[in-house]
Chain A
Amino acid sequence: MDFAWSDQQRELLDAVSRFAREQLDYEVIENDRQAIFNHEAWKKCGEFGIQGLLVPAEYGGLGQDPLTTVAVLERLGYACKDNGLLFSINAHMWTAVTPLVYNGTEAQKKKFLPGLCNGDLIGGNAMSEPNSGSDAFSLGTTATKQGDKYVLNGSKIFVTNGPVADVLVVFANVDKARGQDGITAFLVEKGMAGFDPSHKIEKMGVRTSPMAEVFFENCEVPAENLLGKEGGGAFLFTRSMTWERGCILASAVGAMQRLLEKCIRYANERKQGGQSIGKYQLVASKIVDMKLRVESARHMLYHYGWVAGHRKAVYLEAAMTKLHLADAWMKCAEDAIQIHGGYGYMTEYEVERELRDAIGAKLYSGTSEIQRNIIASLIGL
């Protein structure tokens, strides 16, 4: 087993590290406080090539493999403290870009992918509803066919990028009688009549990632905006969700590495009782465990990345990666606060924000409970 990066991967990853260090290491405290989305940084990432990493070159992407992609996201997470920006980029990549690549018509791909790749367009999806979260497929939004269009009615909640999206992949049911087999995906564009994404949702963490509750009131969507086929929505969702599970916490591995280094520095610098606090075993032990968590998270992530490039069905690896990385990030953030003592509680030290950002990881892309259920069912229980 060769654990080394190829020359090409190394050059690419070095370029990413440098880009992130020079262009994405901006002040986040105030943006987080006011829940401001950094659109300029989004555009820089697009120009740099992030959003289109997995998209074939002919549609404006870079045609990279999944392993290289998660390594890129890890590097971004290390240098960029704005976890919300990276969360928005991830939502865009897995819930809008990926379904278009797999299921888009030639016309849809040509219309949306170049802009979604280069930072001009922002995408996302709308699946969860007030009454259907973990039980996603019991959604209530309907899509009624009328001639050459579909009319959507209903509401969606927890729509990441909703307030700023140019296009959303919206899941609605064309025939409730068919249950899950009626779920269909539609491309709803900003400005379409009857589509209201303006109700912002304020969150505990990743606050710089905009989120909305969106409403469809007789929203007319042209037939050419049907994504995939009628009744194909559940499968399309499951596939994009599997990508999301495997990849969305790649940048968290970078964030954890950053936290680990911050804790080591602090433990060496901070002196109490005549010595660095890092010399006290209770503190050192927490940092050692943090190191183990970062390493195991990274290895699991890279393994998922490799497998995703070599096999079609990666449900197990994706769920394990999501579950393990979410737990690891949360624990790292919690311990980082403890190690920093009172300073860890202060906004200025940017440790408490990491915990607020990390808690969401156990909730989005399928709660940790859901991941456990998936894994259980896939290991024969």
Chain B
Amino acid sequence: MTAKTLILLEHDRRQVKRPSLHAIDAARQLGGDFALLLLGEGLEEMAKSVATCGASAVLMADDAALAEPLADRYATVIADAFRKIEATTLLGTSSTFSKDVLPRAAALLDAPMLTDVLAIEEQNGAIAYRRPINAGSMLATVQLAGQRRVLSVRASAFEAPSADAPACPIESLPIDATSLPNGMQLVSREERISDRPDLIEARVVIGGGRPLKDKETFDRLVGGLADVLGAAIGATRAAVDTGLAPNDYQIGQTGKVIAPELYIALGISGAIQHLAGIKDSRVIVAINKDPDAPIFQMATYGLVGDLHQIVPQLIEALGRE
């Protein structure tokens, strides 16, 4: 089969990550048919779960050699699949996974790439893409030349697809494991099981900054507030640097970019790099003892005071139902 756009989906070996499906909306805006691509091992169930999203086909690169997302192998397989279906656009949603493999695939395909596309529009009769630069303090509208292109799009800027199309064919790509690059190996991976919602998908997020002093206080105050609101937990770079939270909690220019309904910032001053990660939140609450803190300029509601006093009161008031 052939398709204009190839979409790289992301999964956690159990399920497809739903935000990665938002790339389908981007493919629709670009026009033309699209195929979905999954790489890994034991992909049947996952492939079936996305077969009704309106794609022309779901391609599975299913092999033991692809059990781990090693960029050298993955980029090669992605480039091969792209060429096979004679696609012209390679799409994925922004994540550390796609940022690792898509640029490498772009180079193998002799194509330019745009990271973190927020919108697709038309300018001067050609497609233009809007993306953030300078830690999101500016938006650039860019156009690409050439036959092929690679795009990573920000999931929260695109819609979830409906899953009511007739099931499309699921195709297994032939993988010759012996011809794949072999210069990289996985040693270990952190796998923290949490019953909190995923930071990128959560409706409510509580963020903690360095003034929370130590991990115990961070867990008690940020975690306590997150528990009463069913929220996910994030942190500033400074908080992660000082060991209050693990790196995957980091929100900001070089961490995760979130857009929840409600973001509550505890002891966060509001450095530009952090604001880049939260500016699309619908409601922002800031609690900080420094009335000069830049975050108050962005907050919907600002409360100046000592978070060590305020947060327990807030937990109590919100828990009172």
- Whole-angstrom distance between the Cβ of A193 and the nearest chain B Cβ: 48
Nearest CB in chain A to that of B293: its residue: A269
- Whole-angstrom distance between the Cβ of B34 and the nearest chain A Cβ: 48
Residues in A whose Cβ lies below 8 Å from that of B292: 265-266, 269
Cβ of B319 within 8 Å of any chain A Cβ, yes or no, is no
- Whole-angstrom distance between the Cβ of B299 and the nearest chain A Cβ: 13
Residues in B whose Cβ lies below 8 Å from that of A269: 291-292, 296
Residues 92-121 of chain B, each 1 if its beta carbon lies under 8 Å from chain A, else 0: 000000000000000000000000000000
Nearest CB in chain A to that of B289: its residue: A348
Cβ of A270 within 8 Å of any chain B Cβ, yes or no, is yes
Residues in B whose Cβ lies below 8 Å from that of A266: 292
Residues 278-307 of chain B, each 1 if its beta carbon lies under 8 Å from chain A, else 0: 000000000000011000100000000000
Query: Is chain A's binding surface mostly helix, strand, loop or mixed?
Result: helix
Nearest CB in chain A to that of B291: its residue: A269
Nearest CB in chain B to that of A270: its residue: B291
Query: Is chain B's binding surface mostly helix, strand, loop or mixed?
Result: loop
Q: How many angstroms between the C-alpha atoms of A265 and B269 in the bound complex?
A: 15
Residues 245-289 of chain A, each 1 if its beta carbon lies under 8 Å from chain B, else 0: 000000000000000000001100110000000000000000000
Q: How many angstroms between the C-alpha atoms of A270 and B290 in the bound complex?
A: 12
- Whole-angstrom distance between the Cβ of B295 and the nearest chain A Cβ: 12
Nearest CB in chain B to that of A348: its residue: B289
Q: How many angstroms between the C-alpha atoms of A266 and B296 in the bound complex?
A: 13
Residues in A whose Cβ lies below 8 Å from that of B296: 269
- Whole-angstrom distance between the Cβ of B290 and the nearest chain A Cβ: 10
Q: How many angstroms between the C-alpha atoms of A269 and B292 in the bound complex?
A: 7
Q: How many angstroms between the C-alpha atoms of A265 and B296 in the bound complex?
A: 13
**Cβ < 8 Å to A, chain B residues 245-299:** 291-292, 296
Q: How many angstroms between the C-alpha atoms of A239 and B291 in the bound complex?
A: 47
- Whole-angstrom distance between the Cβ of B6 and the nearest chain A Cβ: 45
Q: How many angstroms between the C-alpha atoms of A269 and B302 in the bound complex?
A: 12
- Whole-angstrom distance between the Cβ of B14 and the nearest chain A Cβ: 44
- Whole-angstrom distance between the Cβ of A57 and the nearest chain B Cβ: 38
- Whole-angstrom distance between the Cβ of B178 and the nearest chain A Cβ: 51
Residues in A whose Cβ lies below 8 Å from that of B291: 269-270
- Whole-angstrom distance between the Cβ of B249 and the nearest chain A Cβ: 25
Residues in B whose Cβ lies below 8 Å from that of A270: 291
Residues 128-140 of chain B, each 1 if its beta carbon lies under 8 Å from chain A, else 0: 0000000000000
Q: How many angstroms between the C-alpha atoms of A270 and B291 in the bound complex?
A: 8
- Whole-angstrom distance between the Cβ of A34 and the nearest chain B Cβ: 21
- Whole-angstrom distance between the Cβ of B24 and the nearest chain A Cβ: 45
Q: How many angstroms between the C-alpha atoms of A57 and B6 in the bound complex?
A: 63
Q: How many angstroms between the C-alpha atoms of A266 and B292 in the bound complex?
A: 7
Q: How many angstroms between the C-alpha atoms of A270 and B292 in the bound complex?
A: 9
- Whole-angstrom distance between the Cβ of A276 and the nearest chain B Cβ: 12
Nearest CB in chain A to that of B294: its residue: A265
Q: How many angstroms between the C-alpha atoms of A265 and B293 in the bound complex?
A: 10
Residues in B whose Cβ lies below 8 Å from that of A265: 292
Q: How many angstroms between the C-alpha atoms of A265 and B291 in the bound complex?
A: 10
Q: How many angstroms between the C-alpha atoms of A265 and B292 in the bound complex?
A: 7
Q: How many angstroms between the C-alpha atoms of A270 and B296 in the bound complex?
A: 12
- Whole-angstrom distance between the Cβ of A266 and the nearest chain B Cβ: 7
- Whole-angstrom distance between the Cβ of B304 and the nearest chain A Cβ: 10
Name 6 interchain pairs, CB-CB below 8 A, sorted by A.
A265-B292, A266-B292, A269-B291, A269-B292, A269-B296, A270-B291
- Nearest first, the 4 A-B pairs at minimum CB distance are A265-B292, A269-B291, A269-B292, A266-B292
